[in-house]
Structure 1
Amino acid sequence: MFSNFQVIPKLPAINLDETLSHFEKALGFTLVSRYPEYLIMKNGTTELHFFEFKELDPLTNYSMIYIRVPSGIEELYHKLEKAGASMHPNGKLEMKPWGIKEFAILDPNHTLLTFGQKV
């Protein structure tokens, strides 16, 4: 029933310009659409939407997304590290007990982005 659906996260952003810059420079996303209080960005088949939420306290933001990587997770990790992405303190690249190699970063709004590759 859901096989033809596409899931697109809608994430809070304190500052849309800062969020746009971060996702372009550190993660290689491109801008699809920009509205006064809304952004749509894309990288390959991954699409993210951001809504302005100036009152968001980043330390209480529990937004999270999981991005499945088909291959090359080590290269992606080193690329993001070199680009200055904010690595989560407990998010170093490692093999998890469930058979997935993962790492995690934080965006400027403290949204947790976990990247995982089945090995």
Structure 2
Amino acid sequence: MDSLGDRAVPNLPARDLGATSRFYGALGFVEAYRSDECAVLRRGPVQLEFFGFAALDPWSSSFRCTLRLADLDGFCALARAAGVPVGRTGFPRLHLPRVEDWGGRVAHLLDPDGTQLSLVERA
């Protein structure tokens, strides 16, 4: 077993890997690898992998993953500073944090391809 231990890494679609890399780059992700077929982006211990899917329709996408964040408010502020609008329609967009029925604070970020990242404040 490697020093990181076992882990799961989401594999998400991107209509344009370059545009996806630029979008997530504004959120602090660094491109660790890229080919014509895929890209690996990292932000600290968080890794997202993307595969090319040129025909993806953001309006019908059901791709999603969860990021558990130590600084939920800081990440949301970073997204807003990067120009991601707060709203209920369109891509990309940000839904600001709120307390869920189960007691946790959660926000949602939808990327330009319609992938939803549920942003959960880590307790």
Q: TM-score range by the shorter chain?
A: 0.7 to 0.9
Match for 1:40: what amino acid? Answer: V
Bigger CA drift: 72-81 or 30-39?
72-81
- Cα 1:75–1:21 change in 2 (3 A) is same
For 2:59, give the aligned amino acid.
L
Q: 1:7 to 1:87 in 2, by over 3 A?
A: farther
Alignment pair present for 1:109 and 2:113:
yes
1:52 aligns with 2:45: no
- The residue type equivalent to 2:57 in the other structure is D
Percent identity of paired positions between Structure 1 and Structure 2: 25
The unaligned stretches of length 5 or more in structure 1 are none
- 2:77 is paired with a residue whose SS is helix
CA offsets, 1:20-78, max 9 Å, x none? 100101x11001111111101111111111100101111111001111112x2222222
Q: What's 1:32 paired with?
A: 32
Structure 2 gaps, min length 5:
89-93
The 3 A distance-change label for structure 1 pair 78 and 52 is same
What is the RMSD computed on CA atoms of the aligned residues?
A: 1.7
Q: Following TM superposition, by how much is the alpha carbon of 1:108 offset from its aligned partner in structure 2, in angstroms?
A: 1.1
Question: Are the structure 2 counterparts of residues 77 and 112 from structure 1 closer, same or farther at C-alpha, using a change threshold of 3 Å?
Answer: same
Name 1:18's counterpart in structure 2: 19
For normalisation by structure 2, the TM-score amounts to 0.84
| TM superposition score normalised by structure 1 | 0.87
Deviation at 1:117, TM superposition (A): 1.0
Instruction: Answer yes or no: is 1:95 the counterpart of 2:96.
Output: no
Q: Does residue 63 in structure 1 map to residue 63 in structure 2?
A: yes
Task: Report the CA distance shift for 1:20/1:116 in structure 2 as closer, same or farther (over 3 A).
Answer: same
Report the number of matched residues.
Answer: 114
Residue in 2 that maps onto 1:79: 78
Shift of 1:114: 1.2
C-alpha distance in 1 between matches for 2:41 and 2:87: 22
Q: In the alignment, is the contact (CA less than 8 A) between 1:85 and 1:106 conserved in 2?
A: no
